[in-house]
Amino acid sequence: MMKINFTITIFLLFNITVFSQEKDFENYNQKIAGGDYGLEMISINGGVFKMGSPNYETNRMADEGPVNKVKVDSFWIGKFEITWDLYHLFMSREIDENHVIVDEKNEINIEVDAVSSATTPYVEMSFGMGTDGYPAISMTQLAASKFCEWLSAMTGNYYRLPTEAEWEYACRAGSDTPFSFNDENQISEYAWYDENSDGKYHKVGQKKPNPWGLHDMHGNVSEWTLDQYKPTAYVRSDTLISNPIEIATKLYPRVARGGSFMDRSYRLRSSARLASNKKWKKQDPQIPRSIWWHTDAQFLGFRVLRPYKTPSLEEQKKYWIK
């Protein structure tokens, strides 16, 4: 594997050396229990970007600003949204006995049996749109986070959901335009949305990737992030904001990003935010409502992230939803 040494320098009023370290850092395919389930991870070098949308951006929403300079650390992120192929393994737990052995070299060592699993839903949750190679949908943020915890236990690598900042940084891929591609007339080449989706989601990776090699960041299904949704979360700052996160303290609302096959194109912009809603459980007949499923959020999925710098045990738990 290639080893790289790098130093990131941020120019504000003076030079700041953010980090300089040596570690294997390249794209990889995460095997699970010895099997290849298509979990390709893309390495993203950390850096500084302008988070949010400027006042002049067409169809901009008030909750997308003001724009601030934000720094995020390096990470790997899924090339694709998590598919039913993978999510069903988490639900069935049929390969759990083949989890990675405890090793001090692992980023994390937890018992897979200690990780709760999503219950079997009362309806077929793909709603007839397809499973093999299609994005898993309708899970709660808790369920998506528990998948990350299960994946960590199975592999020994630490996985979690991305923060809003990490997600937008990866989506923009160095751009400062509404989409990661410059010509908005090309949106059908990059995204599934209401005008080309035929009212359903599609297999992951069918559209062109963004400049950093990530597919379906715009459209197909919206994607969970870690953050609590606050319409006024963005506060103007004259200084660099480092690795921001709005820690969730309430069940609703929380943030999803990217837009979906059901949305008009402007909802797919890199800065567009979506707040979760109690109505996403409207069809759920259970009392109390399921903690695992949003039966009416057939447009909602997720992808996973692995930090470049392994967090402490305390930090690891902080970024898993309880």
Nearest by Cα to 171 from 263, 259, 65, 54: 259
**pLDDT one-digit tens code per residue, 212-248:** 999 999 999 999 999 999 999 998 888 999 999 999 9
CA distances from residue 177 to 60, 116, 161 in whole angstroms, order as listed: 12, 40, 25
Model pLDDT, residue 24: 87
Distance of CA 126 to the CA centre of its chain: 20
Domain covering 27-318 assigned CATH 3.90.1660.10 in the classification:
no
| Residues 124, 227: Cα–Cα separation, whole Å | 28
Place of tokens 């390495």: 43
* Model pLDDT, residue 120: 83
Nearest to 112 by CA among 39, 32, 34: 32
Is pLDDT at 198 greater than 90 in this prediction? yes
Q: What is the pLDDT of residues 11-60, one digit of tens each?
A: 333 232 234 345 689 999 999 998 889 899 999 999 999 999 999 999 99
The 10s digit of each residue's pLDDT in 58-114 is 999 999 999 999 999 999 999 999 999 999 999 999 999 999 999 999 999 999 999
pLDDT in tens, 136-152: 999 999 999 999 999 99
Confidence of residue 289 (pLDDT cuts 50, 70, 90): confident
Distance CA 85, CA 90 (A): 9
Residue 187: phi and psi, rounded to 5, are -55, -35
